[in-house]
Amino acid sequence: MATWVISECGVKPLPKIYPRPRTGLLPKTSVPSSFRPLPVCKSSNFGFSWSSSTGFKGQNWKLNVSAPLWVSNVGEEGKERVVVNGGEGAEDESGFDPGAPPPFKLADIRAAIPKHCWVKDPWRSMSYVLRDVVVVFGLAAAAAYFNNWVVWPLYWIAQGTMFWALFVLGHDCGHGSFSSSPKLNSVMGHLLHSSILVPYHGWRISHRTHHQNHGHVENDESWHPLSEKIYKNLDNATKMLRFTLPFPMLAYPFYLVGNSSDFWGRSPGKKGSHFDPNSDLFLPNERKDIITSTACWTAMVALLGCLSFVMGPVQILKLYVVPYSIFVMWLDLVTYLHHHGHEDKLPWYRGKEWSYLRGGLTTLDRDYGLINNIHHDIGTHVIHHLFPQIPHYHLVEATEAAKPVFGKYYREPKKSGPLPFHLLGSLIKSMKKDHYVSDTGDVVYYQTDQELYGPTGSST
């Protein structure tokens, strides 16, 4: 990973809170002498990296997502690109190669984004929380009042979608884009995520790892590809579970728990629970954070248990458990489609070919129709991955401003109808074709296991 970051006012060394990846083969790198720093600024309303030493009882509440300072230039001397499985075939009719280093830098994208897009308004963020909470309780009250089997399925879909909306707001807290107050971010993050059985700090830290390593074969944390060797060592039952719907869309709770299982855990070759303060997911100084989040999660489970005695387990099943399952499906669907399922080939990187910018440019925007507003434009994902500190309500504007810089590296999402049924086709196609990547090569593309589903054509 890069060892320097862009801050609000210039450049500075990457803080020690950003550990080197614990897994993978990413070599040590250094900042080249040709890097281009941003000019010193006077405003503190926006930037790339910041932290606060204040907190509850001396805890260090840091915002742990940062963007590296530099990316490789096209035609960089002394670098030999090793492209495997799809290198030449990845070029389109115009000769565009999505795996080639882009002719722009992270600072060029940042400069194109209006300054007000970086400003975080806590009152506006809280208004979205209020809106979602009112809808959640309103839906529950209406379903309990009518209590018939015509209403319940509609309630489950609507409430599961609202649980997903709550998760996205908690996700903003984890990135520090909810507000400039680390205390407020942490309090709201715990309330929002614990209410839907997500351990806030445990998730926040592993999600930080995902953002710091997006697009890296070994070091990425979320929906990253399996190498050919690991894939072929899986038993057939695990392969089918990982690539046969609906099972991958129910994986999130098992990912949080984490164990040695190839399917019912984080990922083959990776272990560690989001609830365990001693997990290799976390640093020793993050132990108290994990204990706090696990305690909040446990309190929510206890509350649901008490409500089961008061209201009856069947009623809690209908009011909470089924919507929770729909929420999990939303989470797995959206996060998977951020990085898979495009009609063109998407590169994954290793070694010196990987950079923060090039990894971020392999993410995808998706259009969810009416759901865009409900789940806070989380489908506007490319800009979010590159600049996670931008509030969700500025992502669309920031993306439009950055498109001229992106050029062909931005993949325009297919327009959705009122409901995004078209994305189910992208999901099914990707599950049938995107199975593993080569064990060798610095720029690799997904390959298809023809024996798993039979001939399906070339991989995307």
- Which pLDDT tens digit goes with each residue over 250-260? 989 988 987 65
Determine the pLDDT at residue 346: 92
Determine the pLDDT at residue 82: 61
Determine the pLDDT at residue 264: 56
Q: Is the pLDDT of residue 45 over 70?
A: no
Q: How much is the average pLDDT of 382-406?
A: 97
Determine the pLDDT at residue 91: 66
Which domain covers residue 251, as residue numbers?
106-447
414 within 8 A of 422, measured Cβ to Cβ: yes
| Helical axes 422-433 vs 322-337, angle rounded to 10° | 70
Q: Give dist(CA 401, CA 387) in Å, integer.
A: 13
Q: How many domains does the chain have?
A: 1
Q: Higher model confidence: residue 328 or residue 77? A: 328
Does residue 56 form part of some domain? Answer: no
Alpha helices in 120-266 (DSSP H): 122-146, 151-175, 182-195, 200-212, 228-232, 236-243, 252-257
Determine the pLDDT at residue 280: 86
- How far, in whole angstroms, is CA 392 from its chain's centroid? 14
Which residues have a Cβ under 8 Å from the Cβ of 77 and sit 6 or more positions away? Answer: none
Does residue 215 form part of some domain? Answer: yes
Q: Is the pLDDT of residue 14 over 70?
A: no
12 within 8 A of 38, measured Cβ to Cβ: no
Q: Give dist(CA 282, CA 360) in Å, integer.
A: 23
What percentage of residues in the chain have a pLDDT greater than 70?
A: 75
210, 168, 216: which is closest to 192 by C-alpha? 168
Q: How confident is the model at residue 5 (pLDDT cuts 50, 70, 90)?
A: very low
Determine the pLDDT at residue 224: 85
Q: How much is the average pLDDT of 415-437?
A: 94
Is the whole-model pTM more than 0.85? no
Does residue 27 form part of some domain? Answer: no
Does residue 454 form part of some domain? Answer: no
Q: Give dist(CA 211, CA 359) in Å, integer.
A: 9
233, 234, 213: which is closest to 223 by C-alpha? 213
Does residue 41 form part of some domain? Answer: no
Question: What is the identity of the amino acid at 407?
Answer: G
Q: How confident is the model at residue 101 (pLDDT cuts 50, 70, 90)?
A: very high
282 within 8 A of 177, measured Cβ to Cβ: no
Give, as one character, the DSSP assignment of residue 284: G
DSSP string, 52-77: ----GGG---B-----BS--PPTT-T
Q: What is the mean pLDDT of the chain?
A: 82
Q: What is the pLDDT of residues 134-146, one digit of tens each?
A: 999 999 999 999 9
**Ramachandran angles phi, psi of 279, nearest 5°:** -65, 150
Determine the pLDDT at residue 451: 87
Does residue 68 form part of some domain? Answer: no
Q: Is the pLDDT of residue 21 over 80?
A: no
Q: What is the pLDDT of residues 64-84, one digit of tens each?
A: 444 443 333 333 333 455 666
Determine the pLDDT at residue 312: 95
Q: Higher model confidence: residue 24 or residue 175? A: 175
Q: Is the pLDDT of residue 43 over 60?
A: no
In the block, residue with structure tokens 């990846």 = 21
Does residue 366 form part of some domain? Answer: yes
What is the SS3 assignment for 394?
A: helix
Determine the pLDDT at residue 85: 57
Determine the pLDDT at residue 72: 37
Question: What is the identity of the amino acid at 330?
Answer: W
Does residue 200 form part of some domain? Answer: yes
360 within 8 A of 384, measured Cβ to Cβ: no
Q: Using CB atoms within 10 A of its CB, is residue 257 exposed (0-12), middle (13-18) or buried (19+)?
A: middle
Q: What is the pLDDT of residues 351-374, one digit of tens each?
A: 999 999 999 999 999 999 999 999
257 within 8 A of 273, measured Cβ to Cβ: yes
Q: What is the pLDDT of residues 185-232, one digit of tens each?
A: 999 999 999 999 999 999 999 999 999 999 999 999 888 899 999 999
451 within 8 A of 432, measured Cβ to Cβ: no
Q: Is the pLDDT of residue 282 over 70?
A: yes
